[in-house]
Amino acid sequence: MGRAVITGMGVLAPGGVGRDAFWKLLAGGQSATRTLTMFDPAPFRSQLAAEVDFDPRAAGLTERETRRMDRAAQFAVVCTREALTDSGLDLSGVDPARVGVSLGSAVGCTISLEEEYRVLSDEGRQWLVDHTYGVPHLYGYMVPSTLATEVAWQAGAEGPVQLVSTGCTSGLDAVGMGARLIEEGSADIVIAGATDAPLSPITYACFDAIKATSVNNDDPEHASRPFDARRDGIVLGEGAAILVLEEESAARARGARIQAELVGYGQRNNAFHMTGLRPDGREMAEAIRVALREARLDPTAVDYINAHGSGTKQNDRHETAAFKDSLGDHARRVPISSIKSMVGHSLGAIGSIELAACVLALEHQVVPPTANLHVPDPECDLDYVPLVARDHRMNVILNVGSGFGGFQTAVLLAAPGAVRP
Amino acid sequence: MNAPVITGMAVVAPTGQSLDQHWSSVLAGRSGIRPIDRFDPASYPVRVAGQVENYVARGTMPSRFVRETDRFTQMGLSAAQAALQDAALDPAELPEYAVAVVTASSSGGTEFGQKEMERLYQHGPSWVSPYQSIAWFYAATSGQISIRHGTKGPAGVLCAEQAGGLDAVALARRLVRDEVKAAIVGGTDASLCPYGLTAQLTSGRLSTVNEPEHAYRPFDASAAGYVPGEGGAMLIVEPAAEAERRGARIHGTVLGHAAGFDPAPWTGRPSALRRTMERALDDAGIGPRDVDVVFADGMAVPADDADEARAIGEVFGGGGVPVTVPKALTGRLHAGGGGLDLVTALLAIRHGCVPHTAATTSVPGSYDLDLVLDEPRPHTVRHAMVLARGHGGFVSAVVLGA
């Protein structure tokens, strides 16, 4: 059975375009959250966002590509280019049928779907929307699989191509399932990652309606406060990250720089509530155990946990319990942090953005902090690395996610050669 | 290794809401394509669609599931429950994490989403339903099925438009091989609201023929595009040993699968169809001569039909295998289409009968295709191949065994 390794990375996150800017933000404990600028936030309860300052033309997309692609597709394609360049892969010598795509997205082309709806319905006045003004790409916006199509075209992939949409765990599941394509022999190279660009009025209305987002509108830079006793919800974000996965022996044979190995993947569902979490963290703990079992690792092997840390009370307590349940005493010793404190919560994309952060954490041997964590929640009594990044020896990183729909996912990354021969 | 088996199946389709009803419609060539009645279609160039007549969610499931969901998820919930019943499987009797759910979704809760966007723009954010976020996103059906049936194993959601339903079954097969004792798998779609139809119109592949019986004619010389439909199917996949242990009735086996992707249109490279079919056969460990019927994708767009006919000819030889497109009776169900075709193929295996492509009368000779026309063809089916192509380039093939 093949094994999947990461040989390239492209990331587009709030706070700066590209891998270096991303790491600088994280290592500095800086928050990229701010008052929403993409549209007038006045009608909304939560007026905060972690936005990507993105100019598609400056990022290398043509006018045609910019017009055709939803913002989420633009993110994914730009990241794909960066990741392929970073990998040093020469795809011209590769059989396209052996190249696959596994892309995650929770909400697809929301911005374009909503914009087109406003025009065709005359701002909601017409239930029988006017089809004569439908833009040619509208069906492409309605089916989120178009995001994977754009990435496949970019990479010239003709093997298995999939769009994984498991809500807010999409970015972890897409990479975990991308690795499976390599392990089972369906592909030699998989472009894996996730993208979401959900910052639009309907998204804000959705999250307002369930009061899941922060209303700390007067202090936007410090609004995303996972594990802090004063946290009051999610700060919505956007972005993408793409990883190039290759079969290990092929990657070694071409002399690729292996940045990390994917050694474990577990997924479970809580079968409890579409948005609610039980405080015991039982199913997330099970997902972590499944990932450890696959990696043949003891809980004590985990050197750092990149937490879901969305900044809601129920999440923070849920996953704190899950870490204690699955790792036992080791949960009290292992550093844990949430980068959502800095880059917000980009729904389906964040899992892949977090995996990119984990690869960089391995490379630099530095744990990014949980920004804005000043007042610990007594119910969350683990080491969440508040405010300041920490030098730390790491071989194995656990990344977990939790999503609407009850999805609970755990992915284990390891430094090259650290845990398997 | 014994191939995973299918022990349960159920449909919510324009051709019927039970297996018997569906199969008798298919044999009789009774079309579920009718004038659109969920809204007034007079202002649209497409006025017919495959609709599930008299589908009622209320009263058939706990009411909160009805309130929280779009029609596509309601249909998924109905089909999942019926499939579990058909399999005589109660997830509660299996270990806590032993049951997986995998659904395909093509466009999410389109109708629910249109209603809520209307509220947002006509009345303001505070009018938007607290269920909008969980009703219109693509993962809604997998999440709700997990809750309703208490399944805590892996839950997957794949989007590949019409190809997604077959990919979902392939994922379920992998989960069954790797870790779970059963998977509830399939897909549904219900995008027959004004915005959903308008979006589909922009694909340029919809038929604007508005006589229901002539609108969607796969591989016909007069093919002029497809008709959209709603509904889908769900199946139960189990390890062969597990099905045997509990004495389950076996509808068929999931022998092989492959997925491929068409190159970008401007490259001029050939489609992935031929290669994907060949890889699915390899995966199943059988040759083209072992296949007794191909359930084709049948887009009914002449260029796509020609491409598919050519690929089938290259793999099976010209006229070398009976080919059929029963979806001519339902329209294309997008995420629901792959599952429904699998169910129809399993019924063909059971009854030793290949259904015909009812709407098609005249196949161009250049296609060199043995399309089953006019009436069902009695024919022993040991192996069936089901093909699907999803908007944007997705290609998927599943090989079923008796």
The 3-class SS string of chain B reads: CCCCEEEEEEEEECCECCHHHHHHHHHHCCCCEEECCCCCHHHCCCCEEECCCCCCCECCECHHHHHCCCHHHHHHHHHHHHHHHHHCCCHHHCCCCCEEEEEECCCCCHHHHHHHHHHHHHHCHHHCCCCHHHHHCCCHHHHHHHHHHCCCCCEEEEECHHHHHHHHHHHHHHHHHHCCCEEEEEEEECCCCHHHHHHHHCCCCECCCCCCCCCCCCCCCCCCCECEECEEEEEEEECHHHHHHCCCCCCEEEEEEEEEECCCHHHCCCCCHHHHHHHHHHHHCCCHHHCCEEECCCCCCHHHHHHHHHHHHHHHCCCCCEEECHHHHCCECHHHHHHHHHHHHHHHHHHCEECCCCCCCCCCHHHCCEECCCCCEECCCCEEEEEEEECCCEEEEEEEEC
Nearest-Å Rg of the Cα atoms of chain B is: 20
The rounded percent of chain A whose pLDDT value lies above 90 is: 97
Catalytic residue among A79, A222, A308, A358: A308
CB proximity under 8 Å: A 255-314 to B: 267-275, 283, 286, 290
Mean pLDDT, to the nearest integer, of B277-302?
98
- Closest residue on chain A to B123 (Cα): A124
- In 3D space, the residue among A219, A177, A192, A182 whose CA is nearest the CA of residue A46 turns out to be A219
List, in order, residues 6 or more apart from B185 with CB less than 8 Å away.
Answer: B100, B101, B102, B103, B168, B169, B171, B172, B234, B235, B236, B237, B339
Q: Characterize B362-374 residue by residue with b for buried, 16 or more Cβ atoms within 10 angstroms of its Cβ, and e for exposed.
A: ebbeebebbbbbe
**Taking the CA of residue B197 as centre, how many other CA atoms within 13 Å lie in the half-sphere pointing to its CB?**
31
Q: Which residue of B has its CA nearest to A127?
A: B194
Q: How far is B167 from chain A (nearest CA, A)?
A: 8
How many CB atoms sit inside 10 A of residue A237's CB? 30
Does A223 score more than 70 pLDDT? yes
Distance from C-alpha of B99 to C-alpha of A417, rounded to nearest angstrom? 34
Active site residue A345: yes
pLDDT at B13 over 70: yes
Please report residues of A whose CB lies closer than 8 A to that of B200.
139, 142
Contact predicate A105/A241, CB 8 Å: no
CB contact under 8 Å between A140 and B391, yes or no, is yes
Chain B residues close to A210, C-beta within 8 Å: 130, 133
Select from A375, A345, A383, A357 the least CA-distant residue to A212: A345
Mean pLDDT confidence for B369-394: 98
Share of chain B above pLDDT 70, in %: 100
Tell me whether residues A267 and B158 touch, CB distance under 8 A: no
CA distance A171 to chain B (A): 12
Asked if A286 lies within 8 A of B97 by C-beta distance, the reply is yes
Q: Is the ipTM of this complex over 0.95?
A: yes
Q: Which residue of A has its CA nearest to B206?
A: A139
Query: In the predicted model, what is the mean pLDDT of residues A120-138?
Result: 96
Residue A36 has pLDDT above 80, yes or no: yes
A270 to chain B nearest CA, in Å?
Answer: 6
Catalytic residue among A79, A222, A318, A345: A345
- Residues A117-122: contacts with CB within 8 Å, 24+ apart? A117/B114, A117/B117, A117/B195, A118/B117, A118/B121, A120/B195, A120/B198, A121/B117, A121/B118, A121/B121, A121/B195
- Please provide the DSSP assignment of A347-366 as one string: GGGHHHHHHHHHHHHHHHTE
User: What's the pLDDT tens digit per position in A339-387?
Assistant: 999 999 999 999 999 999 999 999 999 999 999 999 999 999 999 999 9
Residues of B in contact with A160 (CB under 8 A): 258-261
pTM of the complete model beyond 0.90:
yes
d(CA A98, CA B156): 23
Across the interface, do B149 and A123 touch by the CB < 8 Å criterion?
no
Among residues B78, B84, B90, B103, which one has the least CA distance to residue B8? B84
Q: What integer is the mean pLDDT of A252-258?
A: 96
CA atoms within 13 A on the CB side of A36: 27
Yes or no, beta carbons of A205 and B105 under 8 Å apart: no
Q: State residue A364 phi and psi, 5-degree precision.
A: -90, -10
How far A215 CA lies from chain B's nearest CA (Å)?
15
Say how far apart CA A330 and CA A324 lie, in whole Å: 8
CB contact (8 A) between residue A136 and residue B202? yes
Q: How far away is chain B from the Cα of A285, in angstroms, using its nearest Cα? A: 12
Assign A308 to helix, strand or coil: coil
Residue pairs between chains A and B whose CB atoms are closer than 8 Å = 266
Residue A2's pLDDT band, with cuts at 50, 70 and 90, is confident
What pLDDT does A421 receive?
Answer: 73
Tell which phi-psi region holds residue B71, choosing left (phi > 0), alpha (psi between -120 and 50) or beta.
alpha
> What pLDDT band is residue A17 in, cutting at 50, 70 and 90?
confident
Min Cα–Cα distance to chain A from B163, Å: 10
Q: Which residues of B touch A127 (CB under 8 A)?
A: 39, 114, 118, 194
Instruction: Give A140-172 pLDDT, tens digit per residue.
Output: 999 999 999 999 999 999 999 999 999 999 999
| A330 is an active site residue | no
The amino acid at residue B150 is G
Q: How many percent of chain A have pLDDT more than 70?
A: 100
A161 touches chain B (CB under 8 A): yes
Catalytically annotated residue among A79, A109, A168, A380: A168
C-alpha B195: how far from chain center:
22
Q: What is the pLDDT of residue A16?
A: 81
Cβ of residue A93 closer than 8 Å to a chain B Cβ: no
Residue A1 pLDDT more than 90?
no
Per-window interface: A 390-419 vs B, CB < 8 A: 403-407
Query: Among A274, A282, A294, which would you mutate to test the B interface (most chain B Cβ atoms within 10 Å of its Cβ)?
Result: A274
Using an 8 Å CB-CB cutoff, list chain B residues near A148.
159-160, 392
Residue with tokens 């999410």: B108
- Give the C-alpha separation, B150 to B91, whole Å: 7
Q: How confident is the model at residue B1 (pLDDT cuts 50, 70, 90)?
A: low
Sort out which chain B residues have CB atoms less than 8 A from A97's CB and list them.
260, 272, 275
Q: What is the dihedral of CA B87, B93, B98, B101, to 10 degrees?
A: 50
Closest CA to B183 of B260, B115, B242, B118: B242
Q: What is the DSSP letter of A345?
A: B
pLDDT tens string B129-186: 999 999 999 999 999 999 999 999 999 999 999 999 999 999 999 999 999 999 999 9
DSSP 8-state assignment for residue A326: H
Q: pLDDT tens-digit profile of B242-260?
A: 999 999 999 999 999 999 9
Using the Cβ of A94 and the Cβ atoms of chain B, whether some distance falls under 8 Å is answered with no
Q: What is the mean pLDDT of residues A259-273?
A: 97
Q: Name chain B contacts of A149, Cβ cutoff 8 Å.
A: 392-394
Contact B139 A106 (CB under 8 A): yes
Q: How far apart are CA B40 and CA B49, in angstroms?
A: 13
Give residues 13 to 52 of A whose Cβ lies within 8 Å of B.
43-45
CB–CB contact B155 A405 (8 Å): yes
Tell me how far apart the alpha carbons of residues A45 and B128 are, in angstroms, rounded to a whole number: 13
The dihedrals phi and psi of B397, each to the nearest 5 degrees, come to -140, 135
At residue A239, what are phi and psi to the nearest 5 degrees?
A: 145, -170
Nearest to A103 by CA among B157, B200, B163: B157
Phi/psi at B354 (nearest 5 deg)? -95, 120
Task: Please give the Cα distance from A281 to A232 (Å, whole number).
Answer: 20
Q: How far apart, in whole angstroms, are the C-alpha atoms of residue B100 and residue B78?
A: 17
* Mean pLDDT within A296-323: 97
Structure tokens at A184: 């089972």
The shortest CB-CB distance from A272 to any of B142, B147, B164 is to: B147
Q: Give dist(CA B18, CA B35) in Å, integer.
A: 22
Taking the C-alpha atoms of residue B220 and residue A260, their distance in angstroms, rounded to an integer, is 53
**How far, in Å, CA of B215 to CA of A152, rounded?**
33
User: Chain A contacts of B275, Cβ < 8 Å?
Assistant: 97, 158
**Contact between B143 and A404 using a beta-carbon 8 Å cutoff:** yes
CB contact under 8 A, B157 and A96: no
What is the C-alpha separation between B85 and A414, in angstroms, rounded?
A: 44
Contacts with B, A 331-390, CB within 8 Å: none
Residue B331: left if φ>0, alpha if ψ -120 to 50, beta else—which one? Answer: left
Q: Which of B45, B133, B147 has its CB closest to that of A406?
A: B147
According to DSSP, the residues that pair with A245 across neighbouring strands are A6, A190
CB distance B202–A139 less than 8 Å? yes
Gap between the Cα atoms of B347 and B352, Å rounded: 8
pLDDT confidence of residue A361: 98
Instruction: Tell me the C-alpha to C-alpha distance, in Å, between residue A100 and each of A41, A190, A239.
Output: 39, 5, 22
Give the chain B residue whose CA is nearest to the CA of A158: B261
- Annotated active-site residue A358? The verdict is no
CA distance B229 to A266: 36
